[in-house]
């Protein structure tokens, strides 16, 4: 798989993850797990995984994890955000 196709595939995966995870608690913990995997992937060999070059994985994992952590209440109504759910 070339790099452009890999980037498109990972971007689609990040978009689907963002749309599927709606509860703030799940978004938070998924973001933490993705950030941990991004840090761990820096220490692994940079081969290919699922046909995607290894240097793209830490970028994808970190970007998706940061987005989920910073936009935890994206799908909550204003009333839910004030309650602290």
Give tens-digit pLDDT for 13-66: 999 999 998 888 899 999 999 999 999 988 877 788 888 888 888 999 999 999
In the chain, what are the domain boundaries? 3-83
First and final CA of the chain: distance in angstroms?
Answer: 42
Question: What's the predicted TM-score (pTM) here?
Answer: 0.77
- What does the alpha-carbon distance between residue 7 and residue 63 come to, in Å, rounded to a whole number? 12
What's the mean pLDDT when you consider all of the chain?
Answer: 84
């Amino acid at each position: 798989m070339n790099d452009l196709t890999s980037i498109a595939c990972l971007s689609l995966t990040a978009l689907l993850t963002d749309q599927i995870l709606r509860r703030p608690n799940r978004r938070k913990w998924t973001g933490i797990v993705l950030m941990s995997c991004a840090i761990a992937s820096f220490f692994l060999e940079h081969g290919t995984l699922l046909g995607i070059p290894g240097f793209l994985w830490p970028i994808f994992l970190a970007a998706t994890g940061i987005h989920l952590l910073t936009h935890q209440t994206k799908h909550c109504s204003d009333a839910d955000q004030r309650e602290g759910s």
